[in-house]
Amino acid sequence: MVHEHGYFRSSQNKHILKEEKFPYLHPNISLSHLYENGKLLTDEEIKNTLAFFDNNPELYRVKTGTQNGNFYNILKFHHPRENKNHYYAIYFGEKHNKQLGKGAYGKVKLIQNLETSEWFALKIQKESTAQIPDDEYDILHHLNQTIGLTKRSVGSKTHQLLGMQLLRGMNLDAFSRTNPILPISHWIQMMMNIYNAIHHFHLKKLLHNDIKPGNIMIHPVTYEISLLDFQFSLFGHEVTKETACGTPGYMALELRLSDNRYKYNEKTEVHALGITFAELLGDIFASRKLGNMIMPDAQRYRVFCPENKLELQYRLSDPDTPPISIFNRIPDHVLCANIIQFLLQMTHDNPEHRPNMENVFEFLQSLQKKLSADPNHIKKIGILNIEEYMDHSEQERKALRLILKTMDEVWFIDTIERNQIDYFFLYRELEASHIKLGDKIFYPNYLWVSIPHMLKQIALQSQQKSSDFAYRQNYIFVSRNLTADLEESFEITDNHNPMLFDLSPDTAINTFVKPQA
């Protein structure tokens, strides 16, 4: 039975849990290339490689072979903040279809820290754009997102190699074009998360100057946001430049019509953010209208508003703009109209008529509060005990996976910290079943901590953060084992094949749902 004091009361045992990010393996990395230590090289191979660097301190790059017949270039980076060297294996590139990206700037590859097994990104910049990495490195260093910068000679050319954090997820443009079917509250939460990422950037006294979906990474399950591509970013709250920078479709009107003096500030950032929000919701179109001028090469993106007949006269057919889908993503007509009107303000041609970033926050917060108060806006968080899952037969695992597929996000608990390779295999197995995997994993800090103890504390900690979301989060423990301690802690309605224990703070009785036969 449930204890009479209620398990959502604050606990003196708030430190019984350790929360970490679930070990992440980029989809481009093949498990067959990793050893049991989760690395591209064995421990002995790593030991020999580091010894070779110690004996040859002038080298920054060597090539080595492995037991399984693969060859990797090993790169030495001097970490600026730690003031020490770290060593990274460069993963396969274009030939094996493993690189992260390629463009006019050069290409981006995956690299792995030989000591920690953590993965990073390596930007290889062409000589013709060599100045950009220096500027971008300064920004990344300021944000503590870089692991080093070095140079590589290829014949008569010199390439710059920039090591940086590897971000999880996909860019916002690609995410939006998958046409996900989500509740209104999820779209609003994404907008707030994007705002928070840019606001945090501005707090560092930086202007991004190229805000657009292609430069924003989103985790498709947790909606965690990260910013990309700082080649146009500038230090300061307001900066005047003699050359324009950014992506034309997202640039404010004053940046398109200026002549040799371009002022970048909060209002130009708000304009780009407004177009980005509109593109996320499926509410932009391409236009050649610039104020009172019409120029054939001056295409820009505008917020779609059905009532704005004059603006729509200049609409273009542009395959790069997604179809108008805001009425499907925000089916509440009143809410949709309010959002469109605010986006029109954010992208107003006159910067004085645009809101500031604080106004944007206040608007999004008002939407959050309205939606979170509605009991229909819920995100179901499933919690899986890895130890139990590992102990089950394949048939029992399959039954668990079918239930996990019904969740909006899945978290993990484990009684021990396993080898990374075990987590990688588990992640790939669940991912293959199209389960929406989050990035949280919880461990007990003490041996005496039971599964019910962990579940209660997860629910309590998460409840305390509930005001940060546009939806309520329901926490559901997914299990096939009805143990004595679970039976003692949770009240169930049937003793036959329990599956789901509802941990939501507003439920007086914790129930389970039996799977369909």
Domain-wise residue ranges, the chain? 17-21+377-502, 31-165, 184-372
Report long-range pairs for 388-393 (Cβ below 8 Å, ≥24 apart): 388/479, 388/480, 388/481, 389/426, 390/426, 392/480
17-21+377-502 has CATH 3.40.50 classification: yes
The predicted pLDDT at position 2 comes to 34
The CATH homologous superfamily of the domain defined by 31-165: Phosphorylase Kinase; domain 1 (3.30.200.20)
Q: Percentages helix, strand, coil for the chain, rounded to the nearest 5?
A: 35, 25, 40
Give the pair of three-digit tokens for residue 435.
């389960």
Which residue's entry shows tokens 């995410």? 175
- What is the maximal distance between C-alpha atoms in the chain? 77
Cα angle vertex 381, ends 368, 488, to 5°?
Answer: 125
The candidate with the shortest Cα–Cα distance to 120, out of 63, 79, 167, is: 167
Could you give the C-alpha distances from 416 to 112, 236, 430, 444, 446, in angstroms and in order? 24, 46, 20, 8, 11
Element (H or E) spanning 372, and its range?
A: helix 357-372
Virtual CA dihedral for 134, 136, 142, 143, nearest 10 degrees? -150
The predicted pLDDT at position 43 comes to 95
Left (φ > 0), alpha (ψ -120 to 50) or beta: where does 8 sit? alpha
The predicted pLDDT at position 364 comes to 97
Amino acid at 55: N
Q: What is the pLDDT tens value at each position of the chain, 517 positions in all?
A: 333 333 333 344 558 899 999 998 999 999 999 999 999 999 999 999 999 999 999 999 999 999 989 999 999 998 877 888 999 999 987 677 788 877 666 789 999 999 999 999 998 887 655 455 567 778 887 887 777 777 766 556 667 888 889 989 999 999 999 999 999 999 999 999 999 999 999 999 999 999 999 999 999 999 999 998 888 999 999 988 877 788 889 999 888 886 778 899 999 999 999 999 999 999 999 988 776 666 656 678 999 998 888 888 888 888 888 889 999 999 999 999 999 999 999 999 999 999 999 999 999 999 999 998 888 888 999 999 999 999 999 999 999 999 999 999 999 999 999 999 999 999 999 999 999 999 999 999 988 888 888 888 888 887 766 667 888 888 888 888 766 666 666 555 444 444 666 665 544 334 444 444 3
Q: Which fold has domain 184-372?
A: Transferase(Phosphotransferase); domain 1 (1.10.510)
Report long-range pairs for 326-334 (Cβ below 8 Å, ≥24 apart): 326/278, 326/281, 326/282, 326/283, 328/282, 329/182, 329/184, 329/187, 329/281, 329/282, 330/184, 330/187, 330/281, 331/184, 332/184
Virtual CA dihedral for 181, 183, 184, 188, nearest 10 degrees? -90
The pTM of the full predicted model, rounded to 2 decimals, is 0.87
Q: Phi, psi (5° rounding) for residue 182?
A: -135, 155
CB-CB contact of 31 with 459 (8 Å): no
> In 29-104, where do the E strands start and end?
61-65, 71-79, 84-90, 101-103
Rounded distance between C-alpha atoms, residue 73 and residue 502, angstroms? 50
> What burial letters (b/e) apply to 304-313, b meaning 16+ CB within 10 Å?
bbeeeeebee
The predicted pLDDT at position 155 comes to 59
The predicted pLDDT at position 300 comes to 86
CB-CB contact of 218 with 257 (8 Å): no
The predicted pLDDT at position 504 comes to 58
End-to-end Cα separation, the chain, in angstroms = 28
The predicted pLDDT at position 6 comes to 33
Rounded distance between C-alpha atoms, residue 2 and residue 9, angstroms? 13
The predicted pLDDT at position 422 comes to 94
The predicted pLDDT at position 101 comes to 79
Q: How many helices (H) and strands (E) are present in the chain, helices listed first?
A: 15, 26
Rounded distance between C-alpha atoms, residue 383 and residue 363, angstroms? 33
**CA 458 centroid distance within chain:** 22
CB-CB contact of 397 with 426 (8 Å): no
CB-CB contact of 273 with 195 (8 Å): yes
| Residue 389 exposed, middle or buried by CB count within 10 Å (0-12, 13-18, 19+) | buried
